[in-house]
Structure 1
Amino acid sequence: MMKELFFQCELFKNNKNFDGIIEVASKILDAALKEALQMEIVQRDYTKVINAVIFVTQRMPGTRYQNTAFSEAYCILGKIFETGVLAEKNIKKAREYYTVAADHSNPFGCYRLAHFYEFGIGCSVNMHKAAHFYKLSANGGCCRGMHRYGLLLLEGRGGCKRDVKGAVFYFEQCRKLASPNYPHMMYDLGICYEQIPQMTKDIIEDKEYALEIYLEGDSLGCPRSSVRLGHAYNFGALGLAQDTKKAIYYYTRAEAMSGEARFELYRIYLAQNNPEEAINWLRKAAILGHPTGLRLYADSLERGIDIPQNKTEALWWYGIAKTRGVKIDKEIKRCAA
């Protein structure tokens, strides 16, 4: 597959098919990213692919503000140097490429530049600039940009005045673009109809609609939606009857990505007097960095509760808990004594 894509990329460059170069280069980058995520190390020389994308930025004729291939080329270069997949990682270059893409009104370029400003990646943190570029990204139709800008409006951050209705508008627009690759707005939209009405009159409470949104989010693989459904069945909320089996089902759907889901599974099995399964889920919750899970698992190791005593390992887990903000100094002192 990759050989064919490399051939097409070179062919499109020779024919000056700029749109073709962008399409094929995007596929190559996506495939390489997938390999990296799956820990598949494949040695390739991507120089010709990168040069073909640069060729688009240098030789694109006509009005570049109206030709998406031009700004997309800068986005691809930004991704290449941000991820370090096709070339050596270079955050400075990535930011420069995203800046040009954003200057040419590319929605994804605006989104990545906003992300850099929000978290101070290759620049100083600047929430006002982050909000500005998130808004441009959102208005350009970028799903992730809509979500992030909606969150800023919901929380009143980045110089944005709190605007719940505005946040819901962007979440609803974002929902139309939801996919298994990016389902995360579903939870935030559901919360707007479930919990936000208790704090503001800007939106009418609708738990039935919130449940519908969470179910859709769960079907797309949104971990937080699955956890919320797990809570609903675990405690009997959102108009649902308490059902431990269904709670376990939804928590299990989210556990690969959610320390909270793993911790709730620990609590369920502990209540069911199943210590072996409970300690297994407690350990898994600690692995994902759940603060209470870290403290309790370290305590179990220190005292030998449902697991062989190991104070050395307990100290290690206590140390991790401390880095997560858990007040654990007394426990560390006691364990080290």
Structure 2
Amino acid sequence: MTYSPPMSPIQQLHSSSSMSLYSMGSEQLLDHSHLKPGDNASLLSYATTINMYRANAKKTNDMEIQCDFAIFLVEAAKRLIMEQQEEQESSIHAYLTEAEKLLKQVAVRGHSPSQYYLANMYSSGLLHKSNKYEFDKAFPLYVQAAKHHHPDAAYRTAKCYEDGLGTRRDKGKAVQFYRKAATLNHPGAMYRLGLAEMKGELGLCSNIRDGHKWLKRSAEASTAEYPHALHELGHLHERGVASIIFQDHDYALRLYQDASDLGYAPSCFRLGECYEFGRLGCAVDPRLSMHYYGLAAEQGHPHACFALTAWYLIGVPGVMEPSDEQAFAWALRAAHATPGLARAEYAVGYFYEVGIGIEKNHSMAWDYYQKAAEHGEKRAIQRLQAGPHQLNIDQPYQQTQQSSPSTPTLSSPAFSSSSSSSSSSSAHQQKQKHRYSIQSINQVIDTNWVKKWKQRLSRNIKS
């Protein structure tokens, strides 16, 4: 259960059925003089809002209001942290200390949302001076909230038992709390149980049928935070499993689309592949392919970033002009993603060596070749074996534009209007004819991957 901080104490008091701005036969709780028009009218400052909220929270024993005020204090502290104002250190500490004290008081009274939120503060390191994760303090609170049927707390308790966070590892206890959270319709817990049943993890015997049932239940309850079951089910129905899970490409495609609607990067990437190569019954559509790759790449998906590199290298007539600068920028992002992509590291090295989208820099090229080789990229190993004196043989790349600055910027695919497709198509083909010297590219050890990309994608587009 998540909470949003109230916008003002007035709105918070209105939202509670047990409180109002007026008590029967009593004076007004809040002074509205600052809202009256005239020379003395003013807006509430953030500190004044907190003071007013604090005064009203103290007038009630409503645990929901007190919990929400504590959360409001935490959000205020986070805001100051984001602003990085050193003079606000005392205010940040004061807000967090007050929130912790108030949440403890409410948690002791058995209020599960307060127990869960306080546990999250400990587990995130927000209350430690060195930002150390305090799972030893968080775990008991998760357990208490779980016993009060808090689904997220039950799920976090299970994760603590599975990973040994704040307690010893106990697979049996982990399964117990995953099942408790699953009975409360927690999609993350149902997804974890589904994987455990499918793969025989957490001490469970492998049972594909039961695992599939848990995944379907999780998919039905999926959220933006827990879209994983949709993608996993799509993967299972894409290939099928024995006689238990039937192969159905249309159903798999719908599941990937549902997951992508929730912003799940792996599903967005899979749809990008489908529309690039015409898989799962999809027609080849460069525009849709780049759209889905872009959605995944914006979240740092390394394979999607590298796929955009390919699209930007060749462009699409009438849809998107080639851009060496953007090709380099997306390859660089793929190389620096977590985990990094060895192919992308090799590509960045080649771009630096030849000068594609960036000024030539043999030192940087060598560095990226070494990174790629360390990650097992065979072409990089071969390139290093050739020696640094072989870099940039005969200047294999013939540039048509000025090289970009050394700090490229990223942008998502920008599409041209369809009305200009005929004129841009011929211009694009003319430009492509002179972009690469194929003879000189072949002189460099295994660097004809650019040509292969062009041929592969062009073939898919034409078909």
Query: What is the TM-score of this pair, normalised by structure 1?
Result: 0.79
Report deviation, 1:51.
Answer: 1.2
Please tell me whether residue 114 in structure 1 is matched to residue 158 in structure 2.
Answer: yes
- Between 1:165-174 and 1:201-210, the stretch displaced more is 165-174
For residue 15 of structure 1, what is the aligned residue in structure 2?
60
Question: Any conservation in 1 of the 2:343–2:377 contact (CA below 8 Å)?
Answer: no
- Structure showing greater Rg: 2
How high is the sequence identity, in percent, across the aligned residues?
25
User: Which digits, 9 at most, give the CA deviation of each residue in 1:159-189, with x for residues without a partner?
Assistant: 2233333333333333343333443332123
> 135, 139, 142: which one pairs with 1:95?
139
Structure 1 residues 132 and 29: alpha-carbon distance in aligned structure 2, compared to 1, 3 A threshold: farther
- Could you report, residue by residue, the CA deviation over 1:89-147 in whole angstroms, capped at 9, with x for unpaired residues? 42322233223333544321222233234444445555554344323222222232222
| Structure 2 equivalent of residue 46 of structure 1 | 96
Would the alpha carbon gap of residues 6 and 252 (structure 1) be closer, same or farther in structure 2, given more than 3 Å must change? farther
Structure 2 residue runs without a partner (length 5+): 1-6, 8-45, 316-321, 390-463
The answer to whether the 8 A contact 1:99-1:110 is kept is yes
The unaligned stretches of length 5 or more in structure 1 are: none
Say if 1:32 and 1:118 are closer, same or farther in 2 by CA, change over 3 A: farther
**Contact preservation (8 Å) 1:294, 1:320:** no
> Partners of 2:308 and 2:352 in 1: how far apart?
22
More helix by share: 1
Q: Which 10-residue stretch deviates more, 210-219 or 271-280?
A: 271-280
Matches for 1:73-222 after TM superposition, within 5 Å: 73-85=114-126, 88=129, 89=131, 90-123=134-167, 126-195=170-239, 197=240, 199-222=241-264
Could you say which residue in structure 1 is the equivalent of 2:309? 266
Residue 262 (structure 1) shift? 0.9
Q: 1:295 aligns with which of 345, 350, 368?
A: 345
8 A contact 1:294–1:317 mirrored in 2: no
Equivalent-residue separation in structure 2 for 1:57 and 1:84 (angstroms): 19
Question: Aligned AA for 2:329?
Answer: N
Output the CA distance in 2 between the equivalents of 1:275 and 1:93.
52
In 2 relative to 1, CA 29–167 (structure 1 residues): closer, same or farther, beyond 3 Å? farther
Would the aligned equivalents of 2:231 and 2:255 in 1 still touch at CA under 8 Å? yes
Provide closer, same or farther for how the CA distance between residues 22 and 200 of structure 1 changes in structure 2, counting only shifts above 3 A: farther
CA contact (8 A) 1:10 1:52 kept: no
Determine if contact 1:56/1:73 at 8 Å carries over to the other structure.
yes
Q: 1:138 to 1:33 in 2, by over 3 A?
A: farther
Aligned length: 323
TM-score (normalizing by structure 2)? 0.60
Root-mean-square deviation (CA), in Å?
3.5
Amino acid at match of 1:17: D
| Aligned counterparts of 1:238 and 1:138: Cα–Cα separation in 2 | 32
Partners of 2:157 and 2:102 in 1: CA distance: 23
Alpha-carbon shift at residue 242 of structure 1 (Å): 1.5
Q: Which amino acid aligns with 1:269?
A: Y
Query: CA separation in 1, counterparts of 2:360 and 2:371?
Result: 18
2:369–2:384 Cα contact (<8 Å) kept? no
Taking a change above 3 Å as real, the CA distance of residues 81 and 128 of structure 1, as seen in their structure-2 partners, is: same
Following TM superposition, by how much is the alpha carbon of 1:153 offset from its aligned partner in structure 2, in angstroms? Answer: 2.5
- Shift of the 137–244 alpha-carbon distance from structure 1 to 2, 3 Å rule, reads same
Give per-residue Cα distances to partners, 1:244-274, cap 9 Å, x unaligned.
2211111111111211111112233345575
Bigger drift between 228-237 and 274-283 goes to 274-283
